[in-house]
Structure 1
Amino acid sequence: MLKNITIIAFDLDDTLWPCMPTLEHAEQTLYRWLQHHYPRITERHTAIQMVETRKQFMEQDKRFTIDFSLMRQEFLKRLAIEAQYDPIDVSEGGFDVFYDARQEVSFYDDVLPCLERLQSKYRLGAISNGNANVEKVGLGHLIEHAVSASDLQVAKPDKQIFHHLAERFGASVDRVLYVGDHPHYDVVGSIEAGLQAVWINREDTAWPDELPHPKYQISSLHELELLL
């Protein structure tokens, strides 16, 4: 059993909702917006080509691995310049469209009922390397503090981001339990930062052989409640 926990913090993408359907929806929404408002861009790139080009673009600047919002804004500027549109107009308008659609998540069935029960006993937080917004996705009434990599310019598994969340709560790291799906970024990263950790493995994937095995593994948040 987990002991002396006063705060439970969660990863977001693939922990509280599936990530890929969310991003695919946002990409498609952006592409349709570009087709309507800036057609020369979509005449130059199919939707699939745009995704592949963006992945290549992301590799050009280390900042983009920490700040996905910056990466998408800069990529839209590049597309605009290539198609001879105003880069600021395309970047600002396009990013707003993408960002709003990116917040339209579909929670796993266990998430809302479990978080509501947990909130009655624990303070809840979130840490993410992505750009989901807990207020906009509908968790603002449950999540007290949320930290993103772009806020600190430091990403998981760096210890600083975990320590920063504990500081936001005014708590020592050993009183914080972190729940996430990524073996390295979430589980090993949080343990090395001094937190307690639970691996949520919703897809029954194998744990990487090269990493130390976690003490606690669950397949849903219902199982988390049984550990507390």
Structure 2
Amino acid sequence: MIRAVLFDLDETLIDRAPAIRAFVADQYHRCADILSAIPSERYQQEFLEVEQFGRVAKKIVYPELAARLGLGDEAAAELLQDYTVHYPRYATLRPEARPTLDRLRSMEMSLGIVTNGVAEVQFGKIDALNLRTYFRTILVSAVEGVSKPDPVIFQRAAERLDLLQGECLFIGDNPLVDVVAAEASGMSAAWLANTESPWPSDVPEPRHRLSTLADIIPLLDRR
């Protein structure tokens, strides 16, 4: 019996693509003193290419980006600091996320988040969207000292809820880091289908595929 639903954050609860594009465009103007010699279009294109749709940590992204653009370590550090301070306010919640969370809460489901990232940024996004009160537990990899897809972070989330892994359903957009990893830890998992992270052809199809977060409700009703 499923008693808890756990979520990935970026590109699952949060619609990441429009947020990061808006942020990068604004960062270019905020940091014009160090970026003025670089065309805006090039900066945005290089950033998105280096970060690989969020798969690369920003502490790696900005030094590589600076090197590509002929900037130094000081510029990389300034850009990273700008990201840490300003990016959380760009977070955009999927339109169906809050109604789904409300419905799950009315069903007396325990809710949690398991996300990779830096605490200041991830908690900043959660608080900017007023989400914290929905969740009994929030695990951020930088705080936990372990990241998805390591099964430990999934097991730890279940323990924080005083549940077995088999009583938890994990929802995520990344086929391997979220879905395959959660199931390997002993949880059930559902894939939020995402064209930016397509399901690999060499991996067995997911047991549960969601077109939208609202699909969680009928999935639970069938169980």
> By the TM > 0.5 criterion, same fold?
yes
Report if the CA contact (8 A) 1:198-1:217 is conserved.
yes
- Contact 1:104/1:137 (<8 A) preserved: no
Tell whether the 8 Å contact from 1:183 to 1:208 is kept in structure 2 after alignment: yes
The corresponding residue for 2:98 is 112
Q: Residue 34 and residue 114 in structure 1: after superposition, are their counterparts in 2 closer, same or farther (change >3 A)?
A: same
Once residues 14 and 183 of structure 1 are traced to their aligned partners in structure 2, the CA distance between those partners, rounded to angstroms, is 12
- How high is the sequence identity, in percent, across the aligned residues? 23
Q: Deviations over 1:173-200 (max 9, x none)?
A: 1111101112111111100011111112
What CA RMSD, in Å, does the superposition of the two structures yield over aligned residues? Answer: 3.5
Amino acid across the alignment from 1:95 = Y
Pair 1:123-2:81 in alignment: no
Unaligned 5+ residue runs, structure 1? none
**Cα drift, residue 105 of structure 1:** 2.5
Structure 1 match to 2:163: 171
Q: Distance in 2 between matches of 1:142 and 1:201?
A: 23
Distance 1:54 1:202 in 2: 21
Match 2:83 to one of 72, 78, 95:
95
Q: Indicate the residue corresponding to 1:181 in structure 2.
A: 173
What's the offset of the Cα at 1:162?
Answer: 1.1
Say if 2:5 and 2:112, in contact at 8 Å, map to a contact too: yes
Amino acid at match of 1:195: M
Shift of 1:5: 1.4
Alignment of structure 1 residues 34-183 onto 2, 5 Å: 34-35=31-32, 39=33, 41-51=34-44, 68-71=57-60, 82=71, 90=78, 94-96=82-84, 99-120=85-106, 121-130=108-117, 131-133=121-123, 134-183=126-175
Amino acid at match of 2:116: N
Aligned-partner Cα distance in 1 for 2:174–2:75: 39
Large movers: runs of 4+ above 6 Å: 55-59, 75-79, 83-88
SS in structure 1 of the partner of residue 122 of structure 2: coil
How many Å separate the matches in 2 of 1:165 and 1:176?
9
CA contact (8 A) 1:54 1:75 kept: no
Q: Secondary structure at the match of 1:138?
A: coil
1:7 counterpart (1, 4, 15):
4
Alignment partners' CA distance in 1, 2:197 and 2:217? 21
Which of the residues 24, 42, 46 maps onto 2:21? 24
Over 3 Å counting, the alpha-carbon distance change for 1:221 and 1:58 in structure 2 is closer
Give the aligned residue type for 1:45: I
Q: CA shift at 1:17, angstroms?
A: 2.8
Unmatched segments (≥5 aa) in structure 2: none
